[in-house]
Chain A
Amino acid sequence: MKHVLAVLVEDKPGVLVRVAGLFARRGFNIESLAVGRTVDPGISRMTIELEADEKTLEQVVKQLHKLVNVIKVSNLTREPSVSRELVLIKVRAPAASRAEIQQIVDTFRAKIVDVSLQSMIIEVTGNDEKLEAIQLLLSHYGILELVRTGKISLLRGAKTIRNGEGKDHGKNLL
């Protein structure tokens, strides 16, 4: 099953290597990883998307907790949350196809952010289904290049992962 973990980490040198290294070393697979600063100085947030069964997931969470620089790990898959990812797609766009592509872009509430004689760059934000759908449609015209930010997620409502599931100092999972 697919899971999305939100991980709060101390913003220390090497912290990304520690997390990425842990996944590699223990044979866990990361599907996507996004990282950036939070409103709290010195604390960054990673969103990690991974495919794992329950037992593996439990080990991933416990091993992440074991890293000294990891403050908090929350599994957002278990609670209502909003997930987004941004994709830039460079698509082949000779004059003849432009109108059609424009229509697709409008339908998906995407944006054209660059145009050349032969190509366009389309920016689209959304959840997995939406991104897959537009990608499928655009592949018909020829996708030249594509880049994704990786998924980011927040819990719905006023709850945050600091006060939400998994307790602070959430090392006491058991």
Chain B
Amino acid sequence: MKLSGAHMIVEALKRENVDVVFGYPGGKVLNLYDALYDAGITHYLSRHEQGAVHAADGYARVTGKTGVVFTTSGPGATNIVTGLANAYMDSVPLVAFTGQVATSMIGTDAFQEADIFGITLPITKHNYLVTNVEDLPRIIKEAFHLAATGRPGPVLIDLPTDVQSAVTDFRYPQTVSIPGYNPTYDGHPGQTNRAAKAIARAKKPLLYAGGGVVIAGAHEELRQLAETADIPVTTTLMGIGGFPGNHPLSLGMLGMHGTYWANMAMHKADLIIAVGARFDDRVTGDLSSFARGAKVVHIDIDPAEIGKNVSVDIPIVGDVKRVLTELLKKVAPKTHPKWLAKIEAWRQEAPLTYVQEPDGEILPQYVIESIYRETGGEALIATDVGQHQMWVAQYYRFTKPRAFVTSGGLGTMGFGLPASLGLQIGAPGETVFCIAGDGSFQMNLQELATAVSYNLPVKVAIINNRYLGMVRQWQELFYKKRYSAVDLSRSPDFVKLAEAFGAGGLRAEKPREVVPAIRKALETPGPVVIDFRVRAEENVFPMVPPNSPINEMMRGGSV
């Protein structure tokens, strides 16, 4: 079959079972968009390329499939740089196709030329500049393979216009052969034996579960291991949903804004079993005092994560699901009543609470808990970055994986709204919330137009504290309340703004208006924005101050 490069791409997407792509056209992808015109693949036009890439990211996280993005050259391509870095940090499978000037023009500072290959080298799992159409089928096959296997990540394919228009024989390869790429899936049996023995011996074991559990779909195996060996489980921000938040063995999130009892358990454990988690600095705090009395088992598919930040006693390179399955065969039932009682005492000592005065200001925690209750804990939620993100992690008890989508590694403000559109597209029948900050929302609010155009019924809950709250909190706590450049009091009227876009707009200013607003939003078809005017200077507690030991948490006034 003879095809142009552009038609090859469309054909290859079908072979890869891609039925949805996100993007934004321009001069250097006219061929590609022409091929897409009657290809039977649904294309979502965002209002900014950053919106497209985050939507593809949200789509990938909620479905487990690979997200696909199209952009033009130059500014179109550079607009997805943040989104690629975001996906790279959180190990999200994406394939981005970017237009490029013709091969004969490359390197001449041609109109809308940017070296996106060079720019994205450090923020993609791999990338390609296609210079010969003959290579295109193989490259696309490799790109999808690389994006989704091993430790997933974004892959970029840069497509000069002449490659898109050149016509040649199309044969899509069935297999890939990349000599330097061979992820390890099965754990070493000797190492799983050692891990099983360590579990048998441990008196104070702790499962520390991360995004790898969600990626691998290993939540069932994790639950079985926890229940069999009676081991409490704490998750990272990215691991939320990998273990049911309402399970008796769940300690919630650990780390900088984790629960006191999860951090204490980490600090005092004699065995830490890290499962698809990467000992991020938000989790470990001061490394020199981190988990000094513990033996560490580290299960990760990426060998480079093992021993990177924390030295490991029993390294296991492999896929979490397979390794846990093997481990389960070797672990005998046991119980740890004393250890669990100890943890329970820490929980009693510093529970997660707040006091919502009925006639006072709305507390952000109350908004999150109300959304949790009104949705029966069943909503899919994308967040932005800041205090509101942490309150969601603390107060919305997720019970299933892929229901909580957040920018963890890069911490990208403006991620929430476009990501939530990806969630809704990936899970059409589900209730989807975007829990946004007033600052973050304003970074990609143009995507409301996308939501309205495609009638994507996401509910956007703006936790409006009139501040860049997270930054203000740090300035309050560590910079003597010198509030520098964090005032957002002159923001637009979000209700009118939503209406101008053709979405619903609601506002809640008093605690008793919170639940009715959520219900109204849930009843209203189509996208709705709710402006929750919350207490401006509420802080996220508890908190491990930066570079401090994790057992030394600031508990704050509200506890």
Contact = CB atoms under 8 A, between A and B. Distances in A.
A171 interface: yes
Interface stretch (A13-21, A44-52, A90-98): A13-21
Interface in B82-121: 117-118, 121
B188 interface: yes
B255 interface: no
Interface in A54-94: 55, 58-59, 62-63, 65-72
Given A63-B304, A66-B304, A172-B184, A21 B121 contact: yes
A14 B117 contact: yes
A9 B180 CA distance: 8
Given A14-B129, A65-B303, A70 B180 contact: yes
A74 to B, nearest CB: 14
Given A14-B129, A17-B118, A62-B304, A68 B146 contact: yes
Interface string A30-58: 00000000000000000000000001001
A1 interface: no
Contact of A172 (B178, B308, B317): B317
A21 B120 CA distance: 11
B315 interface: yes
Interface in A1-30: 9-10, 13-14, 17-18, 21, 25
Nearest to B146: A68
Contact of A13 (B129, B302, B307): B129
Interface in B186-202: 188, 191
B179 interface: yes
Contacts of A172: 184, 303, 317
Interface in B288-314: 302-304, 306-308
Nearest to B304: A62
B300 to A, nearest CB: 10
Nearest to B308: A59
A156 interface: no
A14 to B, nearest CB: 7
B183 interface: yes
A173 B304 CA distance: 10
Nearest to B300: A174
B188 A174 contact: yes
Contacts of B316: 174
A169 interface: yes
B302 A66 contact: yes
Interface of B: 117-118, 121-122, 125-126, 129, 131, 146, 178-184, 188, 191, 302-304, 306-308, 315-317
Given A25-B122, A66-B302, 9 more contacts: A10-B180, A59-B308, A62-B304, A66-B304, A72-B180, A171-B184, A171-B303, A172-B184, A174-B315
